[in-house]
Structure 1
Amino acid sequence: MHDLAPICALGGTEPHVDTVAGVTLTENPGLALASVAARRGQEAACRAHLSTLLDGTVPEPGKAVLRDPEASFWMGPDQWMVGAPIATHEDLAAQLKSRFGNTASITDQTDAWVCFDMRGDGIEDVMRLCANIDIDQMQTGDAHRTVIHYMGVYVLRRDPANWLRILGPSSSAKSLHHALVTAMRAAL
């Protein structure tokens, strides 16, 4: 048997945390992710399953449904990302496949994305430097796809309002981290 040890996307055994002038950027390895894409002809049935999972709500374009334990955001027409705590949903994709059956194609995305949580007063100043989104107009539950330092990312406004979740490609975790910390140091 191999003696494997889990590592975070930035390479450590513990999540990396950076703080600049009261704004904290925390690597969040505790998130299980799975994409849900409705199959042709099954769009309504897929939406019904997602609605049941999310207590009657399905994320629309530019929106997220933030609930516990499962949350979701819109990725494209009839496509969503579902997230939940990995401690209770390590097999999230399998759970969703069981629920959705043949109405959707479900793909485990947990290791494909790195998650950074940015919190504190001043996050808007940081995001103005590194992302082409109207951060001042984003409300809790808004979710936008944008680019940070040439990397496609999703930015979600969480609750409370001074909390952003940034999901980027895991293969570019160090580059994304560097871009965010550089913007924090420049803005704050």
Structure 2
Amino acid sequence: MHDLVAITALGGSEPRVDTAGTVTCSEVPGVALASVAARLGQEKKAAKALAKLTGAPAPGIGRFEGTPVMAFWTGPDQWMTEAPFESHEDLAEQAKAALGDTASVSEQTDAWARFDLSGADVLAVLELLCPLDTRKMAEGEAARASIHHLGCFVLCRTPELFSIYGPRSSAGSLHHAIVAAMKSAL
């Protein structure tokens, strides 16, 4: 019998937390993810089904909506869904059931790593980290950006709390870039 032990994207048994000045970077492993892409000719039906899944309208360009299942816009008629892993481990299956033949759904949970940046000076860190004008981002906005040569998603949850999704295979590099920006900005 195998004795497998779950590890975080950074290889730890517990999520990593780093603080510099007033900003904290927290590794957030407890998230289920699934991508949704509307099929040709089914865009409106897919958006309606996604709205039913999230309990909110399908997010438009640069937005995220819903709770506890949330979706953020990733491209025309494409979204990433997010939910607590504890209650939605099978999020991709739930999304497939909800969207049926209107969209293609794929499991993304282990493909992405999430880091939350919080604190009063989070915008100073983000200015060094990515080319987005995060000072103009409002709660509920999401954008794609290159961070440390990695394609990432940046979500503004509140003016002092941002989430960054980056490829899990490069979690160490992304974390290093975030911590370096924190130390440099603060």
- Which TM-score band (shorter chain)? over 0.9
Equivalent position of 2:52 in the other structure: 52
Equivalent position of 1:117 in the other structure: 116
Which structure 2 residues correspond to residues 13-28 of structure 1 after superposition, within 5 A? 13-28=13-28
TM-score by length of 1: 0.97
Q: Does 1:37 align with 2:37?
A: yes
Whether the 8 Å CA contact 2:25–2:117 is kept in 1: the answer is yes
Whether the 8 Å CA contact 2:35–2:106 is kept in 1: the answer is yes
> Residue 158 of structure 1 aligns to a residue in which SS?
strand
- One-letter identity of the residue aligned with 2:20: V
Separation (CA, whole Å) in 2 of partners of 1:179 and 1:10:
13
> Cα distance, 1:56 vs. partner?
3.8
Equivalent position of 1:130 in the other structure: 129
Whether the 8 Å CA contact 2:48–2:57 is kept in 1: the answer is no
Equivalent position of 1:78 in the other structure: 77
- One-letter identity of the residue aligned with 1:23: V
Which stretches of structure 1, 4 residues or more, deviate above 3 A after TM superposition? none
Separation (CA, whole Å) in 2 of partners of 1:185 and 1:178:
11
Whether the 8 Å CA contact 2:54–2:67 is kept in 1: the answer is no
Equivalent position of 1:61 in the other structure: 61
Identity %: 50
Whether the 8 Å CA contact 2:50–2:98 is kept in 1: the answer is no
Equivalent position of 1:177 in the other structure: 175
> Cα distance, 1:41 vs. partner?
1.4
> Cα distance, 1:54 vs. partner?
2.5
Root-mean-square deviation (Å): 0.8
Equivalent position of 1:164 in the other structure: 162
TM-score by length of 2: 0.98
Separation (CA, whole Å) in 2 of partners of 1:40 and 1:178:
40
Structure 2 unmatched ranges of 5 or more: none
Larger displacement relative to structure 2 (49-58 or 26-35): 49-58
Q: Does 1:152 align with 2:151?
A: yes
Alignment length (residue pairs): 186
> Residue 69 of structure 1 aligns to a residue in which SS?
coil
> Cα distance, 1:2 vs. partner?
1.2
Structure 1 unmatched ranges of 5 or more: none
Deviations 1:32-71 (CA, angstroms, capped at 9, x unpaired):
0000001111111101101112324111111111x32111
- Alpha-carbon spacing, 1:56–1:149, altered in 2? closer, same or farther (3 Å): closer
> Residue 116 of structure 1 aligns to a residue in which SS?
strand
Deviations 1:49-97 (CA, angstroms, capped at 9, x unpaired):
01112324111111111x3211110000110000000000001001111
> Residue 52 of structure 2 aligns to a residue in which SS?
helix
> Residue 170 of structure 2 aligns to a residue in which SS?
helix
